[in-house]
Amino acid sequence: MKKKRTIFFIYGLLISFTVLSCGKIDSKAPYFYTLKIRFTDKDGNDKLQGIKYGERDKSEVNIFKVNQGSYQLGIVQTQSSKEDMNLLPLTLQRTEPYDCLVLTARTFTFVPPTDRSRQLTYKFVCAHIFGDEEEHTVVSDWGEVGSVLRECITITLDGKTFTAMDRDQFGYPVFHVLLGE
């Protein structure tokens, strides 16, 4: 009888801890900043064709991890933010009629919409895309869409600003960067 009471007491404690932790901000999902960019040259050639990529992302059918040796990527938060974030590995979304790079930054914990970054700066080196080993700067500006969602509104690559011309099949804006102009 005493053993049953102890077991019920332990189960009760576990259930209490679980219920109490559900209301904590840290128990909510992290936030993802997803930026999709299509690169073409002045002749309309897809600059992502032939980029080295490896295994398919297990959660997506047409998303592949770009080989880490073929690029360097860093992120800088350009405003005072309460977010602690990191970059996920660069991926390639294979779609018709073009491919796009997917840059994803993730917060470690839930951040309320009012405290989310409005601008992120990426430092990006990729000889396959740019034809050089120089560091290129991509500044992304984020704004509200609807009541809670934040998405990228514009990007600036090496001083030239681009707006999203279309959306992919998941509803993300896709930025078309024309290189060599």
- Residue 76, pLDDT above cutoff 90: no
Give the Cα separation of 177 and 48 in Å (integer).
11
User: What is the per-residue pLDDT across 6-21, written as a single tens digit (0 to 9) for each?
Assistant: 555 455 444 544 444 4
What integer best gives the mean pLDDT of the chain? 79
pLDDT in the model for residue 112:
73
Count of C-beta atoms within a 10 Å radius of residue 76: 11
Evaluate whether residue 16 is within a structural domain: no
Whether residue 134 lies inside any domain: the answer is yes
Evaluate whether residue 135 is within a structural domain. yes
> What is the C-alpha separation between 127 and 56, in angstroms, rounded?
22
Range of the domain at 65: 28-178
Question: Between 80 and 168, where is the model more confident?
Answer: 168
The DSSP-derived string for 66-96 is: EPGGG-EEEEEE-S--S--EEEPPPEEEE-S
In a domain? residue 1: no
pLDDT for 3 equals 59
Query: Is the pTM here over 0.85, yes or no?
Result: no
In the predicted structure, residue 25 carries a pLDDT above the cut 50:
no
Specify if 7 maps to a domain: no
- Number of domains into which the chain is organized: 1
Mention every residue, 6+ apart, whose C-beta is less than 8 A from residue 80. Answer: none
Q: Are 36 and 174 in contact (CB under 8 A)?
A: yes
Per-residue pLDDT tens digits for 88-141: 889 998 887 788 999 998 888 777 777 777 888 999 999 999 999 999 999 998
In a domain, 8, yes or no: no
20 falls within a domain: no
Residue 13 lies in a domain: no
